Amino acid sequence: MLAALIPLVSLLAPLIPSIGRLISGTDGEQVAGKIADVVTTIAGGTTPDDLHAALQDPSKASELLVQLQRIEAEAEKARRDADAAELVARLADVSGARSQTVELAKAGSPLAWGAAAVSMFILLVFGVVVAAEIGGYPVSEMTRRLIEYLLIAVAGYWLGSSAGSADKSRLLGAGPLARQPGGRQ
């Protein structure tokens, strides 16, 4: 279905600029099918000639625009619902890890110290890496990144990093403030 819609994208783009984003998403094939159905219904076919003729008729062009905007709104709602479900799952995961530790501590299990022991080990490794750098011993960028990710995981466990914070970190990592490969910060 997606392949049949590709030739029509250039004709549909003036009506709805986000058409490329809509059909390239994870549910792009499904959205492309809806768009093709709308084009077929309103234009009478899925060829560029059919669509071009329909766009010349103001009433059909208007109806097509309304239907495409409806499809776009539905796709955006589905994306937001998926994002909300992912956030709920993340929060449940963090909550589950913490409540498991609490339950182990209440039961007097030595496993309750597992998260603390792992955290202390990671902090100790961090201290060794910092001491090595101060002492003039070179530490590879890969090692620095690994320690950085481990420290973030420890902080996320103990402090409960929010999804907003994770999104901010991802955006900063892709932005102009991102580390340059092989460079130091």
- Note the pLDDT of residue 73: 85
d(CA 43, CA 37): 10
For residue 95, the model assigns a pLDDT of 65
pLDDT for 135: 92
C-beta neighbour count of 139 within 10 angstroms: 13
Residue 128: per-residue pLDDT = 92
Written as six digits, the tokens of 101 are 């530790």
What global pTM score does this model have? Answer: 0.45
Under 8 Å CB-to-CB from 7, ≥6 apart: which residues? 47, 48
Q: What is the pLDDT of residue 142?
A: 92
Residue with tokens 């994208």: 9
Q: Compute the distance between CA of residue 20 and CA of residue 64 in angstroms, rounded to an integer.
A: 16
* Planar angle of CA 79, 77, 89, nearest 5 degrees: 50
Residue 131: predicted pLDDT: 93
CA angle 164, 116, 104 (to 5 degrees): 95
pLDDT value of position 121:
92
Helix 163-174 to helix 58-106 angle, to the nearest 10 degrees?
A: 120
Q: What is the 3-state secondary structure (H, E, C) of 136-147?
A: CCCCCHHHHHHH
Per-residue pLDDT of the chain (185 residues; tens, 9 = 90+): 445 555 565 566 666 666 666 666 677 778 778 877 887 888 787 677 777 777 778 888 788 888 888 888 888 888 888 888 888 877 776 666 667 777 877 888 888 788 788 889 999 999 999 999 899 998 899 998 999 999 888 887 777 655 555 565 566 565 554 454 544 44
* Rounded Cα gap, residues 48 and 44, in angstroms: 11
- Our measurement of the distance from residue 91's CA atom to the centroid of its chain's CA atoms, rounded to an integer in Å, reads 16
pLDDT at 184: 46
> Which letter does DSSP use for residue 113 in this model?
G
Q: Is 8 buried (19+), middle (13-18) or exposed (0-12) by CB count in 10 A?
A: buried
